[in-house]
Amino acid sequence: MSETTEQSEPQADVNPYQGFKFLRDHAPVTQLEADGPWQVARHADVHAILRDHETYSSEVSIRPPEERGAPSMLFSDPPVHHRLRRLVSVAFKPSQIAKQEQQIRQRCGDLLDAMPKDTELDLVQALAAPLPVMVIAEMLGVEDGDMATFKAWSDEIFSNIGEILFGTPSPESERAAEEMNAYFLQRINDIRRAPKDHLLGQLVETETEDGKLDDEELLSFCRLLLIAGNETTTGLITASARIFHEEPQTLGQLKEQPELAGSFVEEALRFYSPFSATVRRTSKDVEIAGQRIGAGELVVPLIASANRDERVFEAADTFRIDRNPNQHLGLGFGIHVCLGAHLARLEGKIVVEQMAQRYNSVSLANPQTATVGDLGGPKVLPIIVA
């Protein structure tokens, strides 16, 4: 994007980070079009929005309540949000997630074993998409034979998320959601007859002073995991490969010091944030960086831009494998901070550790056309591993 074009939006092109820098420096709060959402580019402002759930509501849908189905925690405010989050959070504690580690290592190893060396392959197809789907499928008790169908539902629902919230969902995504609901309803009924130990089994059983989750809430949570946990983790894996290409020394550093994998993942979440932006609705008149915004307007905190803000991060456009402190907002902040954060970190860590153990180089086949910065990341990423 040209730096002389005032107030133009960052292009969703090969690299949006120049555009984000322009916004931070010259137009930290901009409206994309008349009556459109306000995008917010600086770390301090994005942080303040995520922290203040009273002023910045997550109930953003414009669909009438009767069409929305059971509320999802991501798009609800307290007290509904607290009730839903309390009911499911026990299953996402580090001790619960640690139980999945062996299985994730095994799955990741199998997928890497199947990746040929010295020839071009699509990393999204080979590893970055299937691994997170397998992990979530496992948590929900989806059997291996149903995995392909589950992935197809997930893709259909995710590709239509904007329409689901703000407009009319496509017939394909409605159909995918209906089929998936029917599938999980059957599973939930099976679990009620014969309890299971996986996440869905625990959720069916969990009871707190808030009561139990009903069928609609359980189905809504299954959908939420697909939306929130799949493409984002895919994006973290493709971001890591891009970093191996751009900063080849990091592979060697990880080989020698595998304990750097954790801080590599934190820095990857900052540097190429897979959850690049979120959305809120103002509950009252506000002022952000001098810009007045009325009640009831949509605000889009640009997480990917906040994470490159040179006001907070020294050498913000440099990838530092051991950056510390690293106050990135890649997993959100406040009451909606990523519920799957431990899992996302664990998956990311296992992937980068195993890639560093196996390969001396990971290169992008077409670096000039590979996109960054879209929600989730690129849909295809041709790479060559050696």
- Of 22 and 153, nearer to ligand HEM (C-beta) is 153
Question: CA 257, CA 40: separation in Å to the nearest integer?
Answer: 38
Beta strands in 22-143 (DSSP E): 29-31, 38-40, 56-57, 121-122
The single residue among 23, 180, 343, 364 that binds ligand HEM, judged by CB under 6 A, is 343
User: Would you call 373 helix, strand, or coil by DSSP?
Assistant: coil
Size of the site for ligand HEM (CB under 6 A): 25
Say if residues 338 and 228 touch (Cβ distance below 8 Å): yes
Q: Residue 111 is which amino acid?
A: L
In the region spanning residues 106 to 145, those forming contacts with ligand HEM, defined by CB under 6 A, are 136
* Position 299 contacts ligand HEM (CB under 6 A): no
The single residue among 29, 112, 344, 346 that binds ligand HEM, judged by CB under 6 A, is 344
Which of the ranges 159-167, 177-185, 230-238, 247-255 carries the binding residues for ligand HEM, by CB under 6 A?
230-238
Q: Which residues contact 143 (CB under 8 A, 6 or more apart)?
A: none
Residue number of the CB closest to ligand HEM reads 340
The single residue among 1, 80, 147, 224 that binds ligand HEM, judged by CB under 6 A, is 224
* Position 74 contacts ligand HEM (CB under 6 A): yes
Torsion of Cα atoms, 257 then 260 then 261 then 266, to 10° = -170
DSSP per-residue codes, 288-300: ETTEEE-TT-EEE
Question: CA 71, CA 76: separation in Å to the nearest integer?
Answer: 7
* Position 225 contacts ligand HEM (CB under 6 A): yes
- Of 274 and 382, nearer to ligand HEM (C-beta) is 274
User: Would you call 361 helix, strand, or coil by DSSP?
Assistant: coil
Which of 357, 354, 376 is CA-nearest to residue 106? 354
* Position 330 contacts ligand HEM (CB under 6 A): yes
Binding mask 143-172 for ligand HEM (x = CB under 6 A): ------------------------------
Neighbouring CB atoms inside 10 A of 116's CB total 10
Which of the ranges 179-187, 203-211, 227-235, 353-361 carries the binding residues for ligand HEM, by CB under 6 A?
227-235
Could you identify the residue written with the tokens 């917010």?
40
Say if residues 270 and 307 touch (Cβ distance below 8 Å): yes
* Position 228 contacts ligand HEM (CB under 6 A): yes
Helices (H) and strands (E) in the chain, counts: 18, 10
Question: CA 82, CA 189: separation in Å to the nearest integer?
Answer: 26
- Of 22 and 336, nearer to ligand HEM (C-beta) is 336
Binding mask 84-103 for ligand HEM (x = CB under 6 A): -x------------------
The tally of CA atoms less than 13 A away on the side-chain side of residue 248 is: 9
Question: CA 210, CA 300: separation in Å to the nearest integer?
Answer: 32
- Of 142 and 343, nearer to ligand HEM (C-beta) is 343
- Of 22 and 130, nearer to ligand HEM (C-beta) is 130
In the region spanning residues 357 to 386, those forming contacts with ligand HEM, defined by CB under 6 A, are none
In the region spanning residues 8 to 47, those forming contacts with ligand HEM, defined by CB under 6 A, are none
Binding mask 263-282 for ligand HEM (x = CB under 6 A): ------x----xx--x----
By CB under 6 A, name the binding residues for ligand HEM. Answer: 50, 73-74, 85, 136, 224-225, 228-229, 232-233, 236, 269, 274-275, 278, 330-332, 336, 338-340, 343-344
